Structure 1
Amino acid sequence: MSPHRKRVSALAPDAAAKRRKGDEEPVSKGVFEAHLEQLSQTSEAESISSQERNEVEEGLGTTKSIAFQVFDIETYHEPGSATTFDRTNVKLYGVTHGGNSVCAIVTDYFPHFYFQAPGGFAAEHLDVAQRNLNNAIATSMRRANSSLQLSSVIVDNLVHLSIVYGENIYYYRGSEQKHPFIKVSGSILALNKAKQELKSGGLSFGSGPVQVGTLFEANIDAEVKFMAWSGIVGCGWVEIPVGKGTVLNRKVQSSRCQLEVEVKVRDLIVHEPEGEWGSVAPIRTLSFDIECMGRRGIFPDANEDPVIQIANMVKVEGETEPFIRNCFVLGTCDPIIGSDIIQCQSEKELLEKWAEFVREVDPDILTGYNILNFDLPYILDRAKVLKLPSVAMLGRQRNRASGVRDAPISSKQMGSRVNKSIDIHGRVIFDVLQVVLRDYKLRSYTLNSVSYHFLSEQKEDVEHSIISDLQRGDEHTRRRLAVYCMKDAALPLRLLDKLLSVINYMEMARVTGVPLNYLLTRGQQIKILSMMLRKCKAHNFFLPVIEVQGGDSEGYEGATVIEPLRGFYNEPIATLDFASLYPSIMIAHNLCYTTLLKKPEGEEGKDYIRTPSGNYFATKERRRGLLPVILEDLLAARKRAKNEMKHEKDEFRKMVLNGRQLALKISANSVYGFTGAVVGKLPCLEISQSVTAFGRQMIDLTKSEVEKRYTAGALGGKCVVNAQVIYGDTDSVMVKFGVKTVAEAMEIGLDAATEVSKIFTPPIKLEFEKVYFPYLLINKKRYAGLYFTKPDKHDKMDCKGLETVRRDNCPLVAKVLNTCLEKLLIARDANSALEFAKRVISDLLCNKIDISLLIISKELTKSGDKYQAKQAHVELAARMRKRDPGSAPRLGDRVPYVIIASAKNVPAYEKAEDPAFVLRNNIPIDTKHYLTNQLAKPLARIFEPILGDRAEKTHEGVYFLGTNN
């Protein structure tokens, strides 16, 4: 019922036709209903009484060890009393091979941070320093709570100090000698107080307090720190051996899991996610969707508008279809074959029954479309309004309600938006909308558009404006609404399967070590930080807390782009690509925090290198950097996963391995960006600017070497003319070898990749993968061509940076350019392309183009007053809010609009209008605007290099190369 799901486009001709016929016309059984009916014939629909998980395997935890896949993790503070210590415990939630849910309470883990021991500090100072720090913490705690009673024993054990040896990860200091650091351990609450006291008052151990300077690892999330310390990875398998854990009686369990076991952290067995431990447990995913009784023109308000239906689909990972399909309905409802209809007499009954259903089904993952920002908050808000506390008990903890809070996010890529953050303890919220927003660039993010794009499916045809009418009708109209609601619950599951989202995210969690939900709610940096933390622990390095400074940072020069020799090449163009360029550079040149030098010492080349950006790093003979080791491990693991894929026969296992190799690739390529993030956890511009400097140097060297080596007569006469590099961009060069066939270009390209690779330090390697023929080079990062990996037939038409793949133009531009390029590149018929363009322009000016092809969409990333100039989509969104707040775009939405005809000199931002409003009111389109501002320049770019002089004639005869006519 969110704005992302309920606004059905008015542009689809079939939808418009149905609305013209009238909403009350009987609807015949659709494809979705037929599919549900078919499911009922192949598998019995589950009843409400048989939705619980299988019985716990006999002997599990007593005579058999408990192995389970970890899906969620939380740390929590267990307060002490006047005589008992505070503790920080960890809860791991997961699923066994047999499908049983597990909650493991992990004890004897002590959160900690470090600081470098002050000069003169020795082991004999530990007792007095610890006592003084604990007294300061206790005083601070009593100030915050005057009634707090703390015995001397408790005070003495708030935190513990110990001496460990290691190094700050920044800089190589000429030797491998480790230095004394003080480790501060205790509960999270006590550690937070300790940090405050150390930063403000210092460490008192002798004549007076000493300032401790930088803290280390004091700003890392507790869950990430625990997982790195224990070796557990997100979605990895852990095992509790027989006799090492205490299985709790169901009566005393704090969770609703089938098994709750208490275990010491040192007794956990952690398995590497490979081989049999790379498998996926039979996890349960619940997809749901709600419908609300709205008021006309007003967006549903949880304080006023009731929930009238909740549809649910429950599926086990690896299975093709949901085994539970039901809908909770307020009022009577005709049956839907293949599904259970649970009729409720009141909203209170509906919500309470649904919450009980969730607890009985015990899903590991909750999914749907925009459930994070609409469905779940709405249900929880309604529960508050109706005073139904049991409805908020959706998690796996018996006495912990789910709460909602705002979580503002802001980035250059996604702009500003406010998401909700919801704690459903022990379950992962896997909102499909958030996944698609994060991973795909689309013109529209409505459920209807996304489903059509990926599945060629659409929602059931029900306008949001008639939902209340359907509810107020009879059991037949409520059935129509239930089918609509169930389809909205089914589509997210279909999308997750199609996109392999759960598998891919699961493998990313395993590779980077972070909890699964962190990948959905956090940025890129936490993944690299987690890998760094694990490697640092193994080598006794500590990560400092970097205080982020305000203001703009000093930038550094990016990658090289060789100036393109623009034109149309009716001959094969070979492409040479650097394999994993930035990771390879970091490995080859040993670039790392741990090898960075403040000033060079020794012999250049032997003891240190000077990078092209003027920075200095120790050679691997002096010290092997941690980042190169991490990258080598990632690339080697990817190679293993790809090799396993080749020999794997099980399709599901093959998908898991593919998700793993993609996660490894993405993680390796993210390390460079992590070092260049100035406001990040561990910025190091010396590394990032050195990487791009080496990259620029390598592109220039490649161009020089290719043109020097492959001159006329080279390779026994196979080179008939001098080779020419016509373009180079970041990690690839395009070469014209002057041959006539794709096969000849491939032969010389393969030789070039092998020979030119020899001038670079391993593992830097040039690879030959493709030939473009023909090739249209328009500008930097803008080109198109037929893409060959085999000489006999092209694989595809490849376009980069053109309007065929950009979202900031209307679909007409992409359609016209794509067809013109097909005629130019595949049919090799410039006249046909030209005639097609003329016909489209004529149709446009005669108003014969379907309005759906003229829609422009832009994201509403901030409120109107925060834009420097007036924007068309922002002004339109404001007007739409005045007309109908219920359907108006909200922050984070993409706003679709068309440009309408108006008086001369009216600015474009005032001419933007909602396409549905235009259709309803027969408002004319400003076709000349589309010709001038949308079609003209893109068409000019692709025709000018091919038509040459004829382009000027075209300019006079048609409009698309100049629009003054």
Structure 2
Amino acid sequence: MTLNTCTPILGAHVFSFEREDQLLTAFKDFIIAADPDILTGYNIMNFDIPYLYNRARSLGLTEAHKIGRIRDKPMTVRKSNFHSNQHGNRETHDISIDGRVMIDMLTVMQNEHRMSSYSLNSVSQHFLGSQKEDVHWSIISDLQEKDAESRQRLAVYCLKDALLPLLLMDKLKVVVNFTELSRVTSVPMSYLSIRGQQIRVISLLYRYANKKHMIVPCLKNQITEEKYQGATVIEPQRGFYPDPVVTLDFSSLYPSIMICHNLCYSTLLHPEAASKLDKDDYNRTPTGNFFIKSHLHKGLLPEILEWLLAARKRTRKELAEATDPMNKLVLNGRQLAFKVTANTVYGFTGAQVGRLPCLEISRSVTAYGRQMIDRTKSIVEDRYTTANGYGTNAVVIYGDTDSVMINFGIKDLPTAMARGKEAADLVTSVFNSPPIKLEFEKVYWPYLLISKKRYAGLFWTKTDKFDKIDTKGIETVRRDNCAMVRLVYETCLQKILVERDIEGAQSFTKQIISDLLQNKIDLSLLLISKQLTRSAEQYENKQPHVELAKRMKERDGSGPGIGDRVFYVIVEGPKNAKAYEKSEDPQFVMDRGLSIDTDYYLNQQLAKPLERLFKPIMGDGFKSLLNGEHTRVIRKPSKVTAQATGMLQFVGVVRTCINCKARMGKDEQGAVCTKCKPKEPELFMDAQRSASRAEEQYSQVHAQCQRCSMSMHQPFLCSSRDCPLFYFRTKAKKDLEDCYELLKRFGSPCVFPDESSSP
């Protein structure tokens, strides 16, 4: 549906309207006729729906608001603030459209997946291998006002903008998972993306309290400043372990502790009340709190957790036996719903801003957990020793919250797995506290232990083939690191863990540093991005992305706006200049041929991650990667040679021979001097071959962008700066232009290809 005329679009029905009120009314009628159960899109809760709502209000179209299933009842839109410990503060909109569930795929992605960028292009490329032709908001008005063909561009953009969230929803089985989670927790589906975890637990409490004829106090959200000690993290023995490292994991540790010790609001005792009971009737937790034992009164939270864990166990059994693909999806979504909800209950009791905070429960849970991890370490290390007839002494090299990593000193994988299962059964029998159970989970072989909550290993659950490379706390998804850091980490981990080639990882790192210092790294790998969350005046300290946004607006008035991600690189500047003084727009850098500050990328971006990666393996020898011979002997190229991709450095006021670099006289024409004239045919063929390679590269990237944007018969205007091809396409174009300029010096006419046609 378009305002004013629009060129026809293959595969779509285009409806054009002369007035905006006609368009909005037709859109309302379309929704009523289609009668969807679910409305979805990308950022629809904070942009699309509020925008349509406000436009209808501005035009006085009260009927356009009535898109729900209750006749003559309009939708409501109001601003609100959402807060959770997991996601922090977030300004959003409360939207009510009766009878229709709204699932904003942006919110789903932010809640369920950790990614370096949450733009629709980036997410779609990651999960679908597809993108849209991104049209920057600053040119939308111009395209709308121009003509029918430019409005077709907008329409194609909007069509794919609506299609991609649907494909994402199907690919990630969002509806299936949300349906099952809604059934498990008894909350509306829309709450699962716009509300936090607490609403799910309070809903279950209401359900079980009603069965017991108990009343849950209705309190406003309470804020408690009191804190408690968290989980135990055993001090890691940093290093690289080429032998199998066994990981033992307590199955649903915190829910099991709450069930075992009957920890609940309804079982909490005041010390005076506990003194009047027999000692066999209550538990005294390590934190000095008292709870009635289950034979006198079963707590609501333990009952809820027992049901969740038992239901998950049954569902997983059904999943293993299922054959129908759709049934498997439903069962998998259900077992995940049980798991997520069970793990939420403990956090609900310890939330500092919560409906029913009870630190007596949460700190008792973590105290029991600390005891169990420490005792597990002692049991394993005391049992598996040379004194007891084992080949080596077992060492717990790391432990965190509910798991321990053990180096038994065993060389082969099957024996290590068998020993792990034996140790898990031993610890479980010593505790003898059902449902608490220590299980053999996996083996890391090899294993790189960097520091607390930072490690990487090759994940094995079967002896014939590894499952994946498992990482935690590694610099692969942080958005304040450039893509070069992620490339180095991912490649080195592949070489170290899968290929067992530590020297190869070092050589690759040295080559990357060498290429960086010679300005051979593609610009797309050096991009850094940060979001502009407020106006420049509201930032207390100067930051690179903020200062760049100000400079871009001063240049042409089209700088990034609030809410946009600012992509920048650090260029060379005066000595001791701050990073915010050297941040620059990548497109501006390419157009002006500016030099990258390679020292910044080496020392500020690569140095610390490389230290964390290689120090456990090489010790202080890792410093040779940063200041070894491969860096000392490299002469940093000048500004021109660093950026020129063809022979344009010889075109200008002083004309030089492309072969001997000698200055050419006024009477000398063409590309070479008189002395090098005999070599002109050979040099011309070299230039033609370079142009052919540049044409092929430009054609490939141009065709890829056209396929991605569905714009096979018109020029595209992609502004997706988080796509690696965005700058690569510009570089390919510039390389081809440079090659053509060189051929022109030989007298060969060259015409740059028309971007409106397929190469």
> Under a length normalisation based on structure 1, what TM-score does the superposition of the two structures give?
0.62
Deviations 1:433-469 (A, max 9, x none): 1211222222222211111111110003655555445
Corresponding residue number in structure 1 for 2:4: 331
What corresponds to 2:448 in structure 1? 776
CA distance in 2, matches of 1:910, 1:677: 42
Distance (whole Å) between structure 2 residues aligned to residue 699 and residue 405 of structure 1: 48
Query: What pairs up with 1:867-886 in 2 under 5 angstroms?
Result: 869-876=541-548
| Alpha carbons of structure 1 residues 911 and 678: separation in structure 2 relative to 1, 3 Å | same
In the alignment, what sits opposite 2:24?
351
1:64-213 equivalent positions in 2, closer than 5 A: none
- Alignment match, 1:703: 377
The residue type paired with residue 361 of structure 1 is A
Q: In structure 2, what is the Cα distance between the partners aligned to 1:645 and 1:897?
A: 48
SS of aligned partner of 1:941: helix
Q: 2:486 aligns with which of 794, 811, 814?
A: 814
Q: Confirm or deny: 8 A CA contact 1:416 1:862 kept in the other structure.
A: no
* Contact 1:560 1:729 (8 Å CA) reproduced: yes
Corresponding residue for residue 508 of structure 1: 181
Are the equivalent residues in 1 in contact too, given 2:532–2:546 (CA < 8 A)? yes
1:945 equivalent among 616, 630, 636: 616
Are residue 534 (structure 1) and residue 534 (structure 2) matched?
no
Identity value in percent: 55
User: How many Å separate the matches in 1 of 2:479 and 2:459?
Assistant: 23
Secondary structure of the 2:365 match is helix
Helix, strand or coil for the counterpart of 1:542?
A: coil
1:830 and 2:527 matched:
no
Deviation string for 1:48-103 (max 9, x for gaps)? xxxxxxxxxxxxxxxxxxxxxxxxxxxxxxxxxxxxxxxxxxxxxxxxxxxxxxxx
Preserved contact between residue 552 and residue 558 of structure 2 (Cα < 8 Å)? no
RMSD: 2.7
Q: Tell me which residue corresponds to 2:91.
A: 418
Shift of 1:776: 1.1
Quote the offset at 1:614 in angstroms.
1.6
2: CA distance between counterparts of 1:602 and 1:753? 39
8 Å contact 1:724–1:737 — kept in the other structure?
Answer: yes
Instruction: Say whether 1:804 aligns with 2:476.
Output: yes
Match for 1:571: what amino acid?
A: D
Q: CA deviation at 1:511?
A: 0.9
Q: Secondary structure in 2 aligned to 1:758?
A: helix
1:960 CA displacement: 9.3
Q: If the length of structure 2 is used for normalisation, what is the TM-score?
A: 0.78
Partner of 2:310: 636
- Deviation track 1:340-387 (CA, whole Å, cap 9, x = no partner) reads 121223322222211111111111111111122222222222222323
Match of 2:322 among 643, 648, 652: 648
Partner of 1:384: 57
8 Å CA contact retained: 1:641, 1:660:
yes
Per the alignment, in what secondary structure is the counterpart of residue 69 of structure 2? coil
- The CA deviation string for residues 807-850 of structure 1, in whole angstroms up to 9 with x for no partner, is 43222111101111222222222222111111111111222222
Cα distance 1:438–1:948, how it changes in 2: closer, same or farther (>3 A)? closer
Deviation of the 1:897 alpha carbon: 3.2
Match of 1:755 among 417, 426, 429: 426
- Structure 2 vs 1, CA of residues 605 and 562 (structure 1 numbering), >3 Å: closer, same or farther? farther
- Distance in 2 between the 1:420 and 1:875 partners? 30
Q: CA deviation at 1:883?
A: 6.7
The worse-fitting range, judged by mean Cα deviation, of 491-500 and 419-428 is 419-428
* CA distance in 1: counterparts of 2:217 and 2:552, whole angstroms: 50
Matched residues in 1 for 2:139 and 2:477: separation?
Answer: 36
Number of aligned residues:
631
Distance 1:691 1:917, change over 3 A: farther
Equivalent residue, structure 2, for 1:454: 127
Q: Distance in 1 between matches of 2:29 and 2:394?
A: 72
Displacement of 1:411 in angstroms is 4.7
- Give the 3-state SS of the residue equivalent to 2:353 in structure 1: coil
Residue of 238, 243, 249 corresponding to 1:566: 238
In structure 1, the partner of 2:154 is 481
Give the structure with the larger helix fraction: 2
Number of the residue aligned with 1:664 = 338
1:433 to 106, 128, 134: 106
Deviation at 1:948, TM superposition (A): 3.6
- For 1:577, give the aligned amino acid: D
Aligned residues of 2:570 and 2:596 also touching (Cα < 8 A): yes
Q: 1:724 aligned to 2:383?
A: no
> Contact (CA 8 Å) 1:857, 1:895: kept in 2 or not?
yes
What is residue 707 of structure 2 aligned with on the other side? Answer: none
1:291-338 deviation per Cα after TM superposition (whole angstroms, max 9, x unaligned): xxxxxxxxxxxxxxxxxxxxxxxxxxxxxxxxxxxxx12233333333
1: distance between equivalents of 2:358 and 2:630?
Answer: 52
Which of 347, 350, 366 is the aligned partner of 1:673?
Answer: 347
Q: Are 1:902 and 2:567 counterparts?
A: no
User: 1:744 aligns to what?
Assistant: 415
Once residues 538 and 783 of structure 1 are traced to their aligned partners in structure 2, the CA distance between those partners, rounded to angstroms, is 46
Contact 2:222-2:354 within 8 A present in 1 as well: no
In 2, are the aligned partners of 1:597 and 1:618 still within 8 Å (CA)?
A: yes
Farther off after superposition, 927-936 or 852-861:
852-861
The one-letter amino acid of 1:942's match is: L
Contact map agreement 2:534 2:562 (CA 8 A) in 1 = no
2:602 matched to 1:928? no
The CA distance in 1 between the partners of 2:421 and 2:68, in whole Å, is 57
Q: Is the 8 A contact 1:898 1:915 kept in 2?
A: yes
SS at match of 1:489: helix
Q: In the superposition, relative to structure 1, how do residues 636 and 955 fare at CA in structure 2: closer, same or farther (>3 Å)?
A: same
- Closer, same or farther in 2 for the Cα pair 1:864/1:561, shift >3 Å? farther
- 1:689 pairs, out of 356, 363, 367, with 363
Structure 1 residues not aligned, in runs of 5+: 1-327
Query: Does the Cα contact within 8 Å between 2:45 and 2:95 map onto a contact in 1?
Result: yes
Q: Secondary structure at the match of 2:275?
A: coil
How has the CA–CA distance of structure 1 residues 514 and 340 changed in structure 2, closer, same or farther, with 3 Å as cutoff?
same
**Gap change, CA 1:539 and 1:461, over 3 Å in 2:** closer
Deviation at 1:404, TM superposition (A): 2.5
Comparing 620-629 with 477-486, greater Cα deviation is found at: 477-486
Contact 2:260–2:436 (8 Å) recurs in 1: yes
Query: How many angstroms apart in 2 are the aligned matches of 1:565 and 1:394?
Result: 61
Residue 262 of structure 2: aligned partner: 590
Instruction: Select between 439-448 and 758-767 the one with higher mean Cα deviation.
Output: 439-448
In structure 1, what is the Cα distance between the partners aligned to 2:418 and 2:607? Answer: 40
CA 1:632–1:415 in 2, change beyond 3 Å: closer, same or farther? closer
1:697-732 CA deviation, whole Å, 9 max, x = no partner?
000000000011111275xx5x31111111111111
Instruction: Determine the C-alpha separation between the residues in 2 that align with 1:562 and 1:604.
Output: 37
Task: Write the deviation string for residues 504-541 of structure 1: whole angstroms up to 9, x where unpaired.
Answer: 12211111111112222211111100001111111122
Q: Partner letter of residue 432 of structure 1? A: M
